[in-house]
Amino acid sequence: MGKSTLFNRILGKKVSITSPKPQTTWTRVLGVKTRKDGQIVFVDTPGFHNPRGNFNAHMVERAKESLREGDVVLHLTDVINSFLREEEPIIREIKIRKVPSILVINKIDLVKDPSQLKELEEIFSKKHDYNAILKVSALKGENLEELEDVIISLLPEGFPLFPEDVYTDQSLKTLAREIIREKVFHFTHQEVPYCCAVVIEEFREDPSRNFLYIQATINVERESQKGILIGKGGSMLKKIGIAARRELEELFGRRIYLDLWVKVQEDWREKDYLLRDFGLLK
């Protein structure tokens, strides 16, 4: 759908990790866009899907909780997937909330036949009476300012919740964890990235040398997954580490030593106490 790409593009900062794979966002990610005419607090949530297993059920529930808390709901779809069965539960939740809602049709840069957009808009319009329907390209940045304008017009009046220089509530440790996990998603395939939970074990700054030491453990569920993640002669783990370190240095503006380890925690996705230990469940 491009949910996190849209999120980052509007904020002008990388706050939420991205991947071509579905269900990349695992936790609630908050982003703040402050304009002269108002402040928008965005919440990027795990996507709605048919949950299989304990962790996925928690993810869907987290998405529903965020939906219930918002003043305006953005329902993001795209022109590639047309109308999927997964859209139905989202629309049901929006109807229950009875708050202003905007349908955002993403990836219009890929449309060759304008009638495709019109058809998709008609399908969704029959399902729900949205306050607005906007067609955007998160990748190209098309029509995003118009989207912001519509959101501002639908938000209730009030004082800013954050200072104007704040763009997220995530800590540097959380950002580091997510960047590492993003690289796991980019370099591994099939079930492996979904079985990897990253935990920052040590986060030590040395301001005098503009240096940051980060030690992280990538927890997997099986020995076979550990082997894939490490790779022959440590090649895969090295590839993940180099890519993560480079992006973290650019993001944090300092030199970083990134120390990655892999540990087997059998069936961690089914155990709430481990989900809490990993920071994936409150």
In this predicted model, what pLDDT tens digit does every residue of 144-156 receive, in sequence order? 999 999 999 999 9
- For all residues of the chain together, what is the average pLDDT? 92
pLDDT > 90? residue 231:
yes
Angle of helix 235-252 versus helix 223-230 axis, rounded to 10: 70
Is residue 93's pLDDT more than 90?
Answer: no
Residue 48 has pLDDT above 80, yes or no: no
Whole-number pLDDT of residue 209: 86
What pTM value is reported for the model?
A: 0.90
Query: Which residues are CB-neighbours of 158 under 8 A, at least 6 positions away?
Result: none
The residues pairing with 39 across neighbouring beta strands, listed in sequence order, are 34
Interatomic CA distance for residues 140 and 145, integer angstroms: 12
Query: Which of 198, 209, 206, 138 lies closest to 173 in space, CA to CA?
Result: 198
Strand order in the sheet with 211-220: 197-206, 211-220, 255-264
Distance between CA atoms of 77 and 195, rounded to whole angstroms? 26
pLDDT of 235: 98
Domains of the chain: 3-154 (3.40.50.300), 172-277 (3.30.300.20)
CA dihedral over 117, 95, 50, 20, signed as positive or negative: positive
pLDDT of residue 83: 67
213-230: pLDDT as tens digits: 999 999 999 999 999 999
